[in-house]
């Protein structure tokens, strides 16, 4: 099983957009790990495999003309699973 680097890395001046998106995907992974008990092992494995694949292709994705649209769509799909935006959106706090 692939391992995730969950600590922050310095942001590259050459690729700040890539690093920003990389951190967003890592946040989804952290959220998934924190709520691991609520998911089947198969679901965890599938999501981690998808995250690994995306992180491995992130530089290529960010170099495309429609990078913002494509990566934003991917992040929204992960958000459906992790619910991260609900946790970080101050409008949803009590």
Q: Are 22 and 48 in contact (CB under 8 A)?
A: no
What CA–CA distance (Å, rounded) separates 31 from 27? 6
Q: Percent of the chain, pLDDT > 70?
A: 78
Residue 89 has pLDDT above 80, yes or no: no
Confidence class of residue 13 from pLDDT cuts 50, 70 and 90? very low
- Could you state, in order of their start, the residue ranges of all structural domains in the chain? 16-85
Confidence class of residue 3 from pLDDT cuts 50, 70 and 90? low
Tokens linked to 52: 């690994």
Q: What is the mean pLDDT of the chain?
A: 83
Quick one: which H or E segment has residue 56?
Answer: helix 41-62
What CA–CA distance (Å, rounded) separates 94 from 92? 7
* pLDDT mean over 8-21: 69
Q: Which residue has the tokens 């967003």?
A: 24
The 10s digit of each residue's pLDDT in 17-61 is 899 999 999 999 999 999 999 999 999 999 999 999 999 999 999
Q: Are 27 and 19 in contact (CB under 8 A)?
A: no
């Amino acid at each position: 099983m692939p391992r995730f680097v969950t600590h922050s890395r310095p942001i590259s001046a050459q690729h700040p957009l890539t690093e920003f998106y990389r951190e967003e995907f890592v946040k989804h992974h952290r959220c998934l790990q924190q709520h691991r008990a609520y998911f089947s092992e198969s679901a965890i494995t599938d999501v981690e495999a998808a995250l690994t694949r995306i992180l491995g292709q992130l530089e290529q994705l960010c170099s495309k003309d429609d990078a913002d649209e494509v990566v934003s769509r991917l992040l929204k799909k992960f958000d459906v699973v992790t619910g991260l935006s609900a946790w970080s959106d101050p409008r949803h706090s009590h």
